[in-house]
Amino acid sequence: MTVEDGVLARLRGAQKSAAGAPAYSRFVNRPLGRLLAALAYRVGLSPSQVTLISGATTAAGIGVIAVARPTVTTGVVAALLLVAGYALDAADGQLARVTGKGSLAGEWLDHLLDAFKACALHLAVLVAWYRFFDLEPGWLLVPLVYAVVSSTFFFGVVGADLLRRIARLQAASTGAPRADAGSLRMSPLYSIAVAPADYGTLCIAIALLGFHGVFTAVYGALALMNLLVLVISAFRWYRSLKTAGAEGR
């Protein structure tokens, strides 16, 4: 076994749970991130350095959307940059777990950049629509709503995860049993069902930017589906946190 094979084997054993992961993240982004994490390990990059490279790559893709005239070429370039940034976002966590160099500061930096892209990408689409698309003014509300939905969804995921960690620590200190994540959320069918809410799905959709009518329809459909997923997820998070013993209101 080569050094690279050994690193990849260790990375495969350092994956997050597949529970709740949408299809693109589960079947495409994490394997891509594993390859990039192995490359980063080989050249001696730290997890935080990978995080910063991910943020710069994503920012470049967002900048292309906002500044460049939307053509087939610029759409593909923007999509590739966003896909690469997302894969690097998966790589930093895998690298941290396999090297043991993860830190609270690194996790905070990762979440900070995630919060940035959750909002900034949709604002870039808003700028592109305003500058280059022949749309009725009402359509400009779509990326604004999508930005709110994405930001709220991001907080919901991070906030629920943080509170579950606290609940697990409390349960461990009292010897209480841990709740099962449930077999449904481990199913590949569940991953496919929540694929519209996957950031990776949006990254791929950006490749359609040069086809103005098609992109507008696809982006609008994704905005609506993400809104529905957010509403359903909010109820599920609230119920799960009540079950975990978290305080709710």
pLDDT tens-digit series, residues 165-176: 888 887 777 665
Residue 20 lies in a domain: yes
Give the domain CATH number at 218.
Answer: 1.20.120.1760
Model pLDDT, residue 217: 97
Query: Rounded mean pLDDT of 102-127?
Result: 96
Residue 185 in domain:
yes
The pLDDT score that the predictor gives to residue 248 is: 43
The count of structural domains within the chain is 1
Task: List pLDDT tens digits, range 210-236.
Answer: 999 999 999 999 999 999 999 999 999
In a domain, 157, yes or no: yes
Give, as one character, the DSSP assignment of residue 26. I
Cα separation, 31 vs 39, in Å, equals: 13
Establish if 248 belongs to a structural domain.
no
Q: Is residue 154's pLDDT more than 90?
A: yes
Asked whether residue 249 is domain-assigned, the answer is no
- Residue at 230 is within a domain: yes
Residue 92's domain comprises 3-243
Q: Is residue 69 part of a domain?
A: yes
Q: Tell me how far apart the alpha carbons of residues 41 and 105 are, in angstroms, rounded to a whole number.
A: 19
Check: CB of residue 221 under 8 Å from CB of residue 229.
no
